Amino acid sequence: MPKRLGVLTSGGDAQGMNAAIRATVRAALDQGADVYGIYEGYQGMIDGGNYIRRVNWAASGGILHKGGTILGTARSPEFRTREGRRKAVANLLRHGIDRLVVIGGDGSLTGASLLRQEWKGLCQELVEMGEIAQTLADAHPYLTIAGLVGSIDNDMYGTDMTIGADSALHRITDAIDAITSTAASHQRAFVVEVMGRNCGYLALMGALASGADWVLIPESPPNLDDWETKMCAILGEGRKSGRRDSIVVVAEGAQDRNGNPITAEMVKQTLEKHLDEEARVTVLGHVQRGGSPSAYDRVLSTLVGAAAATTALAAGEDDESMLVGIHHNKITFLPLMECVHKTHELNDAVRNLDFAKAMELRGKNFQDSFRILRTLIRSMPHPPTPGQKRIRFAILNASGPAPGMNAAVRAAVRLAVDRGHIPVGVYRGFRGLINNNLEEFQWMSVNGWAPIGGSELGTSRKVPSGGDFYAIAKSLEENKIDAILMVGGWAGYHSMLRLYQERTTFPAFNIPLICIPATINNNLPGTELCIGADTALNSIVEVVDKIKQSAVASNRCFIVEVMGRYCGYLALMSAIATGAERVYLHEEGVTLRELEQDIAMLKEGFEHGKRLGLMIRNENANPLYTTPFLAALFEEEGGSLFDVRISVLGHLQQGGDPTPYDRILATRLAAKSIDFIEKYYQKGEADESAAAIGLLAGDFHFTPLYEIPRLMDEKSQRPKEQWWMELRPIAKLLAQPGPGFHSDQT
């Protein structure tokens, strides 16, 4: 008999739960299991009947982009009782289900763990009560659990990100951006309350991403008794120095050092009293749970969902229940109970006012972000220390614009000024450096830059050559530049490499040269992710969702061409996030044989009732098999079964306001780059003083520029090793028609 797997969502809903359901169902079906949807969480498990139903490939189609959960979710007090759990076991056994994928918060996962522990005992009780036969109990000696964390709060130990947290952050950042514009028009103060009872993740990251002026989180309350006076003094000074608004972000669980709640209303009253101006409160509430999941949540949920099904189906009696999470872009499996205990420990630390422990348990990224935020929100920088070396560094953007570049420049400028240094903005990339188009920047020069897309400094693709080096050297000397900080893509990296290579000829280049990766293509060495790629991915996903909606009524296949130059990151990730059936990458090439197979797949699908086809093609996947060529081929071969349309997404992928992730990444990379400049400004001739910063395995790394030629596939302008290539099989598995079904919806 095939293995039988149940999947349920429980507790608070979160965007991305549907994507996790889809992946769990399809991966399990692919492995030959029977899959059951358990509706309305644990209550459905207790009530049985129609709440537990077989699901097939098609039933899990058309849900990837939907918020909420198609299975429904509920809070079930009855499941907290042994009797309730016994009823649940009886219903599971009626269907022969002894494997579960549970998608929920720490409460739901605690419940799941308990069910597994009690399984044998509850089965025995059911036999004794005459509810089930001994043979049935014997056939299911144990229950296997794989847990996925669905929670917008990002409050669970055992995964870097919970399902829904990134989408919630999108909602929060959008809201604060919108509030900022109205607040600035009226010169008003706003207090924004965001979710998070024990966890300040959403408040902290929302504030960091939106450039808010103050944040209150449960784990690290203000450490002064009269914090209200301090906060109002800083906000007041900020106004005097030119800010037109004040935004305070409050986590719903914010408290003072004595554990007294700090509510949004209290903050509003404080602001009105001290600043003598009207303040408004916005409680974001359930808006944060709503809406379509972000690209990241769709990809995350897809990966952990498929992994959860696989591990739940493979586990034996002695295998522990696992929490399937993500750490440094890799799927992880940790003992479920350990994760639940650690999460409780953290919540207890917050409740018991042990703030040092709470911050420690939240981890390094959280602490770093909090520290950075505390500097960025200052109304004015610390004055330079008398006698300190004030480093003058040039900061510029290069290559194509990437959303998040401005956030990086803002953070670098402010963090540097706060340490007494002098940033010098260069307009229009290396062209500006050649033409001596530079200007000293102050704290307020970058005010309000965090949410703006594009490049305020201006950028160019110019790579210096010949006489340009002399002009640049002169410009650096005239402006007394001690370091260069470049935020940009491949042309920028290439330019910085050229300066490094010219050091022997031009001593002016013997200064720290630091590159921050910013390109939507995500094709730079020494980093897993570049600033801008997340925004581009979300832009693609949004448009493809619309295209899919437009196409379902008419048998149609869409070929969507996305950017990326020769790097397939955007193509593959958007295919996973939208459920495209096929993705064409330059890395894999395109052959006629494969195209024939694709045509056969499309024809068979449309013959069996499919109404929509979706193929995503990287712009340079193949020089001859172009997008129009593919369209003509499919159109001709498809005959009357379906027609074909092309959508070349073009520059909308480079535009748009940066996503919270891109803003936060930009800010954190900029902070580390300032540390780098301080470290090397006296060792400018050292080879290590010319480097590119990046995020590798979750940590910041500096790759010396001399390593770059070795790491790059020069011809295709992409790194030789690309971590995301290993995600290709999952994209393929989930989107194609599954066993015995021809889904019309992906």
| Of 111, 104, 29, the residue nearest 71 (C-alpha) | 104
Q: Which stretch binds ligand ADP (CB under 6 A): 75-83, 372-380, 427-435, 519-527?
A: 75-83
In this structure, how many other beta carbons lie within 10 angstroms of the beta carbon of residue 267?
25
Q: How far is the CB of 144 from ligand ADP (least distance, A)?
A: 18
| Of 160, 116, 159, the residue nearest 323 (C-alpha) | 159
Q: Under the criterion CB under 6 A, does residue 11 sit at the interface with ligand ADP?
A: yes
Q: How far is the CB of 343 from ligand ADP (least distance, A)?
A: 9
Q: Which stretch binds ligand ADP (CB under 6 A): 105-113, 228-236, 304-312, 601-609?
A: 105-113
- Please say which residue, 80 or 342, places its beta carbon nearer to ligand ADP: 80
Among 36, 39, 42, 430, binds ligand ADP (CB under 6 A): 42
Order of strands, edge to edge, in the sheet holding 52-54? 52-54, 34-38, 4-9, 99-104, 144-149, 322-327, 330-335
Q: How far is the CB of 196 from ligand ADP (least distance, A)?
A: 13
C-beta of residue 192 within 8 angstroms of C-beta of residue 254: no
Distance CA(102)–CA(90), nearest Å, equals 18
Q: Cα 399 vs. chain centroid, distance in angstroms? A: 24
Q: Under the criterion CB under 6 A, does residue 107 sit at the interface with ligand ADP?
A: yes
Q: How far is the CB of 145 from ligand ADP (least distance, A)?
A: 13
Q: Which of residues 147-166 bind ligand ADP (CB under 6 A)?
A: 151
Distance CA(537)–CA(403), nearest Å, equals 11
Q: Under the criterion CB under 6 A, does residue 136 sit at the interface with ligand ADP?
A: no
Q: Which of residues 611-640 bind ligand ADP (CB under 6 A)?
A: none
Q: Under the criterion CB under 6 A, does residue 110 sit at the interface with ligand ADP?
A: yes
- Please say which residue, 105 or 423, places its beta carbon nearer to ligand ADP: 105
- Please say which residue, 151 or 746, places its beta carbon nearer to ligand ADP: 151
Residue 24, token pair as written in the block: 């769990």
Q: Under the criterion CB under 6 A, does residue 104 sit at the interface with ligand ADP?
A: yes
Q: Which stretch binds ligand ADP (CB under 6 A): 73-81, 389-397, 516-524, 630-638?
A: 73-81
Q: Under the criterion CB under 6 A, does residue 647 sit at the interface with ligand ADP?
A: no
Q: How far is the CB of 156 from ligand ADP (least distance, A)?
A: 9
Cα-based distances in Å from 675 to 378, 412, 446, 485, 666: 19, 10, 20, 12, 15
- Residues binding ligand ADP: what is the number (CB under 6 A)? 17
C-beta of residue 19 within 8 angstroms of C-beta of residue 302: yes
Active-site residue list: 153
- Please say which residue, 14 or 690, places its beta carbon nearer to ligand ADP: 14
Q: Under the criterion CB under 6 A, does residue 16 sit at the interface with ligand ADP?
A: no
Please calculate the CA angle 289-291-644 and round it to the nearest 5 degrees: 150
C-beta of residue 426 within 8 angstroms of C-beta of residue 457: yes
Among 3, 6, 10, 586, binds ligand ADP (CB under 6 A): 10
| Of 639, 694, 405, 445, the residue nearest 532 (C-alpha) | 405
**Helix/strand/coil percentages in the chain, nearest 5:** 45, 15, 35
Distance CA(494)–CA(565), nearest Å, equals 16
**Phi then psi dihedrals of residue 625, to 5 deg:** -85, 75
- Please say which residue, 73 or 460, places its beta carbon nearer to ligand ADP: 73
Cα-based distances in Å from 112 to 88, 249, 337, 346, 742: 11, 34, 10, 20, 34
Among 30, 53, 56, 80, binds ligand ADP (CB under 6 A): 80
> What is the residue whose two structure tokens read 């009886």?
90
Q: Which stretch binds ligand ADP (CB under 6 A): 103-111, 515-523, 668-676, 715-723?
A: 103-111
Q: Which stretch binds ligand ADP (CB under 6 A): 4-12, 298-306, 368-376, 693-701?
A: 4-12
Q: How far is the CB of 73 from ligand ADP (least distance, A)?
A: 8
Residue nearest to ligand ADP (CB): 107
Among 15, 18, 76, 311, binds ligand ADP (CB under 6 A): 76
- Binding footprint of ligand ADP on the chain (CB under 6 A): 10-12, 42, 75-76, 79-80, 104-108, 110-111, 114, 151
